Amino acid sequence: MTHENGISVLLVDDDPLVLAATSRFLRKRGIRTICASSPFGVTALVRKEAPDAVVLDCHMPGLDGAFLLRVLRTSPGTARTPVIFYSGEAEHTLAELAQSLGVRYAAKGRGPVPLVEMIFAALKIPLWKASRAMSLNPAEHLPSPTH
């Protein structure tokens, strides 16, 4: 598939359904996706693939998103990569966590459209481009979050 937006995103989520559906949704909007079903090895993957942004689930077995964010922020080659939390956490809790860590967030319960908007905002891409990407099929939804 052509990635007409020229954007690549690393998705990190331990839920295979959410990972696959989110990846499919983003790819249909011209965003290249790299998927990781585990938080382990993400720093090396970011260095190797050099994605424009990283989308992290907050709650994964063994290593949560907040800890992984701290690792990314202190590692050469990954410190400047924008990170967006994408979680099934209660939205007010997610908002507080994201604000305390200085990252953007999108709640899984609101579907993938806000995630695309946060990706474009994190990359300082004009909102009209995000709107254009969303016009392909804004009614498409992801499975319900499990965590």
Task: Tell me the CATH number at 110.
Answer: 3.40.50.2300
Confirm if 52 and 120 have CB atoms less than 8 A apart: no
Q: Is residue 2 predicted with pLDDT exceeding 70?
A: no
pLDDT in tens, 39-87: 899 999 999 999 999 999 998 888 888 899 999 999 888 899 999 999 9
Residue 1: per-residue pLDDT: 36
- Classify each residue of 87-115 as buried b or exposed e, where b means 16 or more C-beta atoms within 10 Å of its C-beta: bbbeeeebeebbeeeebbbbbbeebbbbb
**Is 142 a member of any domain?**
no
Q: Is residue 17 part of a domain?
A: yes
95 domain-assigned: yes
Q: What is the mean pLDDT of residues 123-131?
A: 75
Number of domains the chain contains: 1
Q: Is residue 65 part of a domain?
A: yes
CA separation for the pair 84, 103 (Å, rounded): 6
* Cα gap 42→35, rounded to integer Å: 10
pLDDT given at position 64: 85
pLDDT digits (tens, 9 = 90+) for 19-30: 999 999 999 988
Residue 113 counted as domain residue: yes
With bands split at pLDDT 50, 70 and 90, how would you rate the model's confidence at 132? low
Instruction: State which residues form the domain around 59.
Output: 7-132
**Rounded CA separation 42/62 (Å):** 13
